[in-house]
Chains A and B, each alone.
Chain A
């Protein structure tokens, strides 16, 4: 009776989840770019492997519970004293070790992949976009195009994008699930996120790290389009948008929610992004490897990209 309940429960959960996954793919498992693809593949691989482990454990458990329950045994049965067996224990350690080694290799390989220019896009110069958050908005600066947008992002498809992330306030996390995983934007340093879209489309983007009262609505829209359309858009902005002045930018930084807006020029000129010195201005700023080794910022700091 009790075991039956467990099975009913289990089948219920599995059917619910398959039905739901079948009718509309989950964002993370519906990648539209190489980085998200790497991550989705890892996720599916680990789901299958882990499902295997859960099923094995469950099977052993159900087996021993059925076989050795008291009601099934003779009254005078005295369970034996068993200390343990080196062979059995070696197997129980050995198999998990093999699984962990395998997953470690996959994990390390994928991590290097998602932290570099996407595979297949290495030959082209990435498009650099500075994405900075302020309570509770996103500012996107395109230094190459000399454009700045608020709360929306137009990107060309099939082009590597290098996001430079920082924040005018609490730590936020820049996340476009269908293009790739998130990364933090912080006030005292720049982090780099490499993404690319391999097809046109509209994607959800948001801040994933809690940043106060307006956090839930701290979202932005991402549109990937053909390079031609993108060029057209850039042209159009230069013709129609007004320039971003320092006062206007200060105004935009005020806490609150805003709709989309577009400007020519970027705030990078009068409000340069934070250098990565961890604020230790009067000591040797780059020697901060004790707690975290942000190697990558040294390689790609803001200077390097200012001449794109």
Chain B
């Protein structure tokens, strides 16, 4: 009985039961649907076993969108709970689970896959490559990430969600104070997903260094590729810290070690330090690619080259270095003394300088341009003032003495949403709208797109600006309720209304996708925005091999030069192309990882051992496997090219 008790949700409520039924029915509907339409074979051949970077990218995108809604619902629930004093919609336990899952889901299972979607889809196209350096590893990265995501989301149906915050500070997250398996899920699910991300980092560094088209020197790479390169370098330096940290945390929880406990020599501050040694660079892993996307979109619609290319690159390099030197600004109040605080205060403020350079470069890119307000551009120009606001409040937080007053308050919550929503979420929506025609062959509706951007922005301002004020009025973050006498209620109600307005914007986004699938014209050619870099130089839809002939590059905006300055991109004849074969192994191995993770969460040791053997067997099998890929013949390529050129008209 005791054994089965652990699988039960410790604090079930109507909401949880309802979601269980909902999830169950959706799953059933999907399975029945796929079976009814006989799509299992198609799914297996074309998607599950694929090693094509474009398809893997699309799978990341779908996961990210799904998680955006999951995390968004959590956000709304929190805002609703706080909209009135002494609200009883959620009790404290549920609120704690909700903000913990919201934080984890949004950062790790929404924002991360979203940027990895862009890495996957765009980087090979932007550098004129056929695929990533290690296509199979790429599939494994995705499936590990996916299984980590799945495991994490399983927590609230089986065994209970983690409830110690996304930062999961010990000793609160230790067995003594978090008794359910929730935090086990946190440790293990993030670990599995994190290994996938670390491999992605290695893969893309190699891809960018080794597989650029002839003529594309480092200083001729498109800005998004630069940002992806730097973000992946940060991944490779930061994620091992997370791996070790989670391993130590897991051992504390499962094997009774005392790395972070309150006695036997545990150091709770060590968790905080290591967490943020990873955590702070993590936010730059998210924001730099977003900057990259803006640097693609703004020049396109200002109809001008990006101003200050070199300083854009330099600022990203400087930011990447500084991002590792600021972690202690997350705990100025831990009693490390004014000297240490001063150092971290100064390094943190220093990041504002290269960031400011980027803002000014975007502004100067608009200068003397011929600006068109398309949807992606609208997001980009809304981003500039909103992100500046978030950035300057970051500088305010960096003043260590003042941070003693902001720390752990709604002011901080307002600040990081103020950078992460206009910074990352807007960039993703802008990038999605921008690249949608390249990926799917039709445009999203512009009118609906602009409405979405405006509604989202109104909602955003209403939802988050009030938090700055309540923070200064003493509202701590993570409080599930407050009393009437605090006087927080009016602003929190405004905030809830704002969150609801944002929800409308996201629904409109979905409607736009639905509407455009049905009504958008399909004859848009391969360059509907009159864009500038190499990814637009191939057909839409992009053929499996990306480019029939490897392009020759002479500037940062190769495609633009080929359109306006008569630069010849494709020299030479079509030759047969070598491509990797699909493989089911990454998926199978990741499934075993899922079982392994699940068994670890509940300490079911026999299953742990068996699945571990299974993982090793997969690795062994792979190392003896002989698979040299296959060739696409010249005739086949020519046929595809003619067909695609026809499709263009």
Interfacial residues, chain A to chain B (CB-CB below 8 A): 2, 5, 9, 13, 16-17, 20-21, 24, 26-29, 36, 38-40, 42-43, 46-47, 50, 53-54, 57-58, 60-61, 64-65, 68-70, 73, 77-84, 88-89, 92-93, 96-97, 100, 103-104, 106-108, 110-115, 135, 165, 169-171, 173, 175, 177, 180-184, 186-189, 191-192, 204, 206-216, 278-281, 291-297
Contact between A111 and B342, CB atoms less than 8 A apart:
yes
24 intermolecular pairs with C-beta atoms under 8 Å apart: A27-B473, A36-B405, A43-B402, A50-B395, A68-B368, A73-B370, A79-B368, A83-B305, A111-B338, A111-B341, A111-B345, A177-B405, A177-B474, A181-B401, A181-B407, A182-B333, A184-B335, A187-B262, A204-B474, A208-B407, A210-B165, A214-B92, A215-B92, A294-B337
A235 to chain B, nearest CB (A): 31
Query: What's the Cα separation between A77 and B302 when bound, in Å?
Result: 12
B280 to chain A, nearest CB (A): 14
- For A192, the closest partner residue in chain B by CB is B335
Task: Place the interface of chain B in its size category.
Answer: 35 or more
Point out the residues of chain A lying under 8 angstroms from B408, CB to CB: 173, 175, 182, 208-210
Contact with A along B440-454 (1 / 0, CB 8 A): 000000000000001
Query: What's the Cα separation between A106 and B349 when bound, in Å?
Result: 12
Any A CB within 8 A of the CB of B524: no
Query: What's the Cα separation between A216 and B465 when bound, in Å?
Result: 22
Contact with A along B401-415 (1 / 0, CB 8 A): 111110111000000
Contact between A294 and B335, CB atoms less than 8 A apart:
yes
Contact between A206 and B399, CB atoms less than 8 A apart:
no
Contact between B346 and A104, CB atoms less than 8 A apart:
yes
Kindly list 20 other residue pairs between chains A and B, CB separation below 8 angstroms, not including A5-B454, A183-B404, A215-B96: A26-B474, A28-B472, A39-B402, A42-B401, A70-B372, A82-B364, A83-B307, A96-B356, A106-B399, A107-B349, A107-B402, A111-B341, A112-B342, A181-B333, A186-B334, A192-B335, A210-B165, A215-B478, A280-B265, A292-B340
Contact between B336 and A110, CB atoms less than 8 A apart:
no
Any A CB within 8 A of the CB of B48: no
Contact between A281 and B265, CB atoms less than 8 A apart:
yes
Point out the residues of chain A lying under 8 angstroms from B272, CB to CB: 171
B310 to chain A, nearest CB (A): 7
B267 to chain A, nearest CB (A): 5
Point out the residues of chain A lying under 8 angstroms from B350, CB to CB: 100
Any A CB within 8 A of the CB of B607: no
Given known contacts A89-B311, A104-B346, A281-B265, A39 and B333 CB-to-CB distance under 8 angstroms: no
Contact between B352 and A100, CB atoms less than 8 A apart:
yes
Point out the residues of chain A lying under 8 angstroms from B309, CB to CB: 83-84
Contact with A along B309-346 (1 / 0, CB 8 A): 11100000000000000001001011111111110011
Point out the residues of chain B lying under 8 angstroms from A181, CB to CB: 333, 401-405, 407
Q: List the one stretch of B479-487, B504-512, B546-554, B641-649 in contact with chain A.
A: B479-487
Tell which of A135, A177, A291, A296 touches B273, judged by Cβ atoms closer than 8 Å: A291
A230 to chain B, nearest CB (A): 25
Most chain-A CB neighbours within 10 Å: which of B372, B373, B404, B458?
A: B404
Contact between A43 and B371, CB atoms less than 8 A apart:
no
Query: What's the Cα separation between A6 and B584 when bound, in Å?
Result: 51
Given known contacts A80-B368, A112-B338, A210-B478, A39 and B269 CB-to-CB distance under 8 angstroms: no
B262 to chain A, nearest CB (A): 4
Contact between B334 and A184, CB atoms less than 8 A apart:
yes
B18 to chain A, nearest CB (A): 23
Instruction: Name B370-423 residues within 8 Å CB distance of A.
Output: 370-373, 381, 384-385, 388-389, 392-393, 395-396, 398-405, 407-409
Query: What's the Cα separation between A185 and B397 when bound, in Å?
Result: 21
Query: What's the Cα separation between A294 and B337 when bound, in Å?
Result: 6
Query: What's the Cα separation between A84 and B93 when bound, in Å?
Result: 55
Given known contacts A28-B405, A39-B404, A169 and B368 CB-to-CB distance under 8 angstroms: no
Contact between B399 and A70, CB atoms less than 8 A apart:
no
Contact between A291 and B269, CB atoms less than 8 A apart:
yes
Query: What's the Cα separation between A291 and B340 when bound, in Å?
Result: 10
Point out the residues of chain B lying under 8 angstroms from A209, CB to CB: 169, 408
Query: What's the Cα separation between A107 and B343 when bound, in Å?
Result: 10
Query: What's the Cα separation between A60 and B342 when bound, in Å?
Result: 33
Given known contacts A17-B465, A115-B338, A171-B169, A213 and B472 CB-to-CB distance under 8 angstroms: no
Contact between A70 and B370, CB atoms less than 8 A apart:
yes
Given known contacts A84-B311, A296-B337, A89 and B357 CB-to-CB distance under 8 angstroms: yes
Contact with A along B594-605 (1 / 0, CB 8 A): 000000000000
Tell which of B334, B367, B466, B473 touches A28, judged by Cβ atoms closer than 8 Å: B473
Any A CB within 8 A of the CB of B244: no
Query: What's the Cα separation between A103 and B472 when bound, in Å?
Result: 20
B508 to chain A, nearest CB (A): 16
- For A115, the closest partner residue in chain B by CB is B338
Point out the residues of chain A lying under 8 angstroms from B273, CB to CB: 291-292
Tell which of B92, B373, B401 touches A216, judged by Cβ atoms closer than 8 Å: B92
Any A CB within 8 A of the CB of B527: no
Point out the residues of chain B lying under 8 angstroms from A82, CB to CB: 304-305, 307, 364, 368
Point out the residues of chain B lying under 8 angstroms from A110, CB to CB: 399-402
Contact between B269 and A216, CB atoms less than 8 A apart:
no
